[in-house]
Copies of this chain bind each other. A is one copy, B any other.
Amino acid sequence: MEEDIIKEIVKRVMDTIDHRKTIPLEVSARHVHLSQKHMEKLFGANYIMSKKKELSQPGQFQYKERVSLIGPKGVLRGVAILGPPRERTQVEISKTDSISLGIKPPIRQSGDLDGSESLYISTDNAVIKVVESVIIAKRHIHMTPEDAEKFNVRDNQRVSVRVNSERPVVFEDVVIRVSSKYKLNMHIDFDEGNAAGYQEDVVCEIVI
């Protein structure tokens, strides 16, 4: 009996050692971060938003409410809203989405919005125009300072990351983002996920 337990412990530790350099991979679906002001315009000043679920990054969550994105060529309905509210509204879509909508957002890091694309956001309650607020998120890895030390990388460094899947890909020019508030996770968009054969439990590894 004790021998079984020891074997199990050894196995689990070995697994940890084998996987110590792997990074969990997450595909971000299209979503919006709303400013408090825009949230009030879209849902009403006295409306209380409902939390649907926590996300992998600590403190981040998804609301139950959804919005539509309206571009010159198309509409995307049922788009997720992530919280908490931000200083400035930010819409993150894939290249595929941008073609449906008929806009050309730049590939940018979160928060880098000047000169980015514009569109309309609607609910049953209101339609607002969000100007220079739409980007295709540049692929990135969230990690803690301890992770950065372990992987021997620094904040804002660019690395190449191999996704080990049925459709193996090396993504170059992946941004490292270090904060004690983060949890280790690589974020790619739906196009990148589909191109890299993403499935649940697929992991990736920094190769440069």
Contact = CB atoms under 8 A, between A and B. Distances in A.
A197 B167 contact: no
Contacts of A191: 96, 191, 194-195
Nearest to A188: B195
Contact of A194 (B94, B167, B197): B94
A166 interface: yes
A109 to B, nearest CB: 13
A63 interface: no
A172 B166 contact: no
A148 interface: no
Nearest to A138: B167
Interface in A160-208: 160, 166-173, 188-192, 194-197
Nearest to A172: B168
B107 A194 contact: no
Contacts of A197: 107
User: Top 8 closest A-B pairs, CB basis?
Assistant: A195-B195, A95-B194, A170-B170, A191-B194, A168-B172, A192-B195, A191-B195, A191-B191
Interface of A: 94-96, 107, 160, 166-173, 188-192, 194-197
